[in-house]
Amino acid sequence: MSRNELCYCGSGKKRKKCHKEVHNNSYIEILSNLYEAIENEKTYNSRDKEHPCKNGCFNCCYDAFIISMLEFEYILYDLRKNHKEIIEDVFHAALEGEKLLKEQDPELLNYFVKDATGLDARMESREANQKMINKRTLPFVCPLLDKEKGKCMVYDNRPFICRMRGNTHTYRHTVHDTKICDHILSSKQNAKNTPFIHEGYFDRVELLNLGKYGNQYLSFRRFPIFFWFCIYKQKNERRGKEMYESLLPDYFIKPEGTISFTDVVPHEVKKTKELK
């Protein structure tokens, strides 16, 4: 796609006057197109359904769900481009949240801190990962929430899990009927009211989080949104950069399948020690 052609985002502007940093067929563009396709499918499949999740409810925003670095880069790009006036406040809220978690749930924080470089991704078991995180809530709300309005500040660029009705979607395949929150009293009824999303979208999002390691592709580590903010502040300070700068500009340039573990985990980055 030429820089003079219309931007992929649907703004109607030329790419060079809109998302000029995002190259054709890059990771970021593919993720954006996936998000758009998911929203279209949700709209189509929810025509005859009334989901209990309503505007102003943010119970899920306390959950310790995790997202990929690519999803976070997408969020941070939106903050840099459209919300520069609040970006430092968002970082501050995330850092305050980290302090609170250290006091109230140090085990969970240490689980994330033990290797913030992502080196453990090669050995990280998805089952163990989910066992640690599932059904755990944070003592603070997501730093991207506007609590006065009860709305996400980056709603149009929110991560995959938030597009799937938050963590309520993870209960769809539970055997027993359970209460999810004060607004969703039945997990089985919730499953019936949740718009169907084709499994292929889940697979595509997973594939975007793969990196080449030797002769194989493995998943990069995922972290909660607040912890990504902490990682970016720490690493950008070491680089002498603003805390909100991208740590992996290749996501905006390279085509899918070309980013490796050495791109994400530079050799000079030392392991972060566990909190005592």
The DSSP secondary structure of 161-178, one letter per residue, reads: HHHTTGGGGGGTT-SS--
Distance CA 121, CA 210 (A): 10
Q: Phi and psi of 158, rounded to 5°?
A: -65, 155
Torsion from C-alpha of 276, 132, 246, 154, nearest 10 degrees: -120
Q: Which residues pair with 26 in a beta bridge?
A: 255
Confidence at residue 74, expressed as pLDDT on a 0 to 100 scale? 95
- CB of 223 within 8 A of CB of 67? yes
Q: Is the per-residue pLDDT at 268 higher than 70?
A: no
How confident is the model over 181-197, as a mean pLDDT?
67
- Average the pLDDT over each of 13-17, 133-137, 268-272 and give the range with the smallest value: 268-272
- CB of 209 within 8 A of CB of 160? no
Q: Is the per-residue pLDDT at 246 higher than 50?
A: yes
Q: Is the per-residue pLDDT at 86 higher than 90?
A: yes
Q: What percent of the chain has pLDDT over 90?
A: 35
Confidence at residue 244, expressed as pLDDT on a 0 to 100 scale? 95
Per the model's pLDDT, the better-predicted residue between 110 and 255 turns out to be 255
**144 to each of 21, 76, 155, 223, how far by Cα in Å?**
23, 11, 9, 15
List pLDDT tens digits, range 147-186: 888 899 999 999 988 887 555 555 444 556 777 677 776 6
Confidence at residue 271, expressed as pLDDT on a 0 to 100 scale? 41
In this prediction, residue 198 has a pLDDT band, given cuts at 50, 70 and 90, of low
- What is the residue-averaged pLDDT of the chain? 79
Angle between helices 27-45 and 69-82 (to 10 degrees): 90
Confidence at residue 91, expressed as pLDDT on a 0 to 100 scale? 97
How confident is the model over 84-113, as a mean pLDDT?
93
| Neighbouring C-beta atoms of residue 140, cutoff 10 Å | 19
Distance CA 14, CA 24 (A): 13
Confidence at residue 49, expressed as pLDDT on a 0 to 100 scale? 61
The pTM of this model reads: 0.83
How confident is the model over 237-260, as a mean pLDDT?
93
Residue type, 276: K
Q: Is the per-residue pLDDT at 206 higher than 70?
A: yes
Q: Is the per-residue pLDDT at 239 higher than 50?
A: yes
Distance CA 276, CA 274 (A): 6
How confident is the model over 29-57, as a mean pLDDT?
75
